[in-house]
Amino acid sequence: MTTPLETSEQYYGRQANFEYMSASQLKAFIGTPGIRACEERAVAELNGQYVRPASNALTIGSYVDVMLTGTEDEQHAFRESHPEMFSSRGATKGQLKAEYRSVNDMVARAFEDEANGGIFMRALRGEKQKVVTGEIHGHKFKGRIDVLGDGFITDLKTVENVNKRYYNEGWWDFISWWGYDLQGAIYQELVWQMTGRRLPFYINALSKQTPCDIDLIQVPQDRLDEAMARVTPSALDRIAALKSGELKPTRCEHCDWCRMTKVIRQPRILEVV
């Protein structure tokens, strides 16, 4: 029986994550230029043995997302579930704590662009948090799209700097560094399977700088095609075997999970640099 994906709890639940693959799973298992893959950590996360540590960056991104694309009920629910973001006493009771106040600047910057005749908010008009499903190389996939518009797909991102470039055996923009091109390629493929339309993929980006920078980026189709080319049948078959327990996952020996679970069985010989 197919696992329902109507609610957030169902979509992100353990049963759905075992049944379906997703862009975030691919990043965990095969990595991106900026994300080191660790099969053992990815499997541990699926099994509930590892929980990604909370960070201000993720919380800020989620808050901006719900403030720009969520309903009033969703915004209220987010505030209720994140009391750590708000002051609970004194003259600032109920207001965002200092480390989170940049979110107000980001949200205001987006609406300011609209007030000045900009098109940033126009790319956020459409069906919000649209769940899409399909198959890639015989494996079931799911995706939850920030905005499925009339003729486009949009993902909202809060980033360090929209112009920053990162180095890892070559220079990368933030889109490839964090695997957002892979995410867009998966979304595009699933939407095509469901609707017969291959839609352009946009990223609405807001920076965490002061003042906040803003950008609306269309990821070229050749970049999406290159990202999708990494999703090979052999890679997906291996991930499926890892999820089922048929294969033993490898360790990266660099991530927080590997540090936490390392067992010293023999001395390490110091390598000459």
pLDDT in the model for residue 1: 65
Which of helix, strand or coil describes residue 148? strand
Write down the residue that tokens 């660790």 correspond to: 38
pLDDT in the model for residue 127: 94
Model confidence, pTM: 0.92
**What is the domain-level CATH number for residue 205?**
3.90.320.10
In a domain? residue 26: yes
In a domain? residue 193: yes
Going by DSSP bridges, is the β-strand pair 127-136/214-219 parallel, antiparallel, or unpaired? Answer: unpaired
In a domain? residue 268: no
**Nearest 10 degrees: Cα torsion 65, 159, 24, 67:** 0
User: What domain range is 77 assigned to?
Assistant: 8-261
In a domain? residue 2: no
pLDDT in the model for residue 200: 98
In a domain? residue 36: yes
The span from the CA of 106 to the CA of 121, in Å, is: 12
In a domain? residue 34: yes
The span from the CA of 182 to the CA of 230, in Å, is: 8
**Average pLDDT for consecutive 10-residue bins of the chain (273 residues)?**
82 93 96 96 96 84 88 85 85 82 90 96 93 97 95 95 96 97 98 97 95 96 97 97 97 96 93 81
In a domain? residue 50: yes
Domains contained in the chain, number: 1
The span from the CA of 45 to the CA of 87, in Å, is: 32
